[in-house]
């Protein structure tokens, strides 16, 4: 059974704190993604990675950075959390094989509140 896990389901942080969100997949997928989901806006891509140490900016990278040191792990970092980063964060992974038609597998999400 394929699995994408995220380090926390709920997280409360203070403005200015550095926040780490971890995502691990056990499917040996090359591609990993970080999204945020806000009411009325749907899922928006923050960053994605297509290989170890490789990353590309998505639609809303400002205020975020990422790290991919191992194939199975993709971390999202909020360097200095702000209240407008309060959101649901979803990680996903996808195989590159036959890549055009492969689905994404999502983690359970982390609901982050920044006070």
Site for another protein in 64-93 (CB under 8 A): 88, 90, 92
Phi and psi, residue 100, nearest 5°: -60, -30
* Closer by beta carbon to another protein, 12 or else 41: 41
Residues recorded for the chain: 115
Among 25, 31, 87, 93, binds another protein (CB under 8 A): 31
Among 1, 28, 42, 69, binds another protein (CB under 8 A): 42
- Residue among 110, 77, 80 nearest 8 (CA): 110
Sign (positive or negative) of CA dihedral 1, 70, 108, 55: negative
Among 1, 28, 40, 53, binds another protein (CB under 8 A): 40
Q: Which stretch binds another protein (CB under 8 A): 11-19, 20-28, 42-50, 68-76?
A: 42-50
Q: Which stretch binds another protein (CB under 8 A): 12-20, 44-52, 69-77, 78-86?
A: 44-52
48 binds another protein (CB under 8 A): yes
Task: Using CB under 8 A, list all residues that contact another protein.
Answer: 9, 31, 33, 40-45, 48, 50, 88, 90, 92, 94, 99-109, 111
């Amino acid at each position: 059974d394929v699995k994408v896990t995220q380090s926390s389901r709920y997280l409360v942080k203070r403005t200015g704190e550095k926040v780490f969100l971890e995502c691990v997949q056990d499917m040996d997928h090359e591609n990993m993604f970080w999204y945020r989901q806000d009411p009325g806006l749907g899922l928006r891509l923050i960053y994605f990675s297509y290989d170890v140490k490789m990353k590309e900016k998505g639609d809303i990278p400002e205020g975020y950075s990422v790290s991919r040191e191992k194939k199975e792990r993709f971390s999202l970092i909020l360097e200095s959390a702000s209240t407008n980063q309060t959101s649901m964060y979803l990680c996903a992974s996808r195989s590159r094989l036959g890549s055009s038609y492969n689905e994404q597998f999502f983690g359970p999400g982390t609901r982050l509140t920044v006070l």
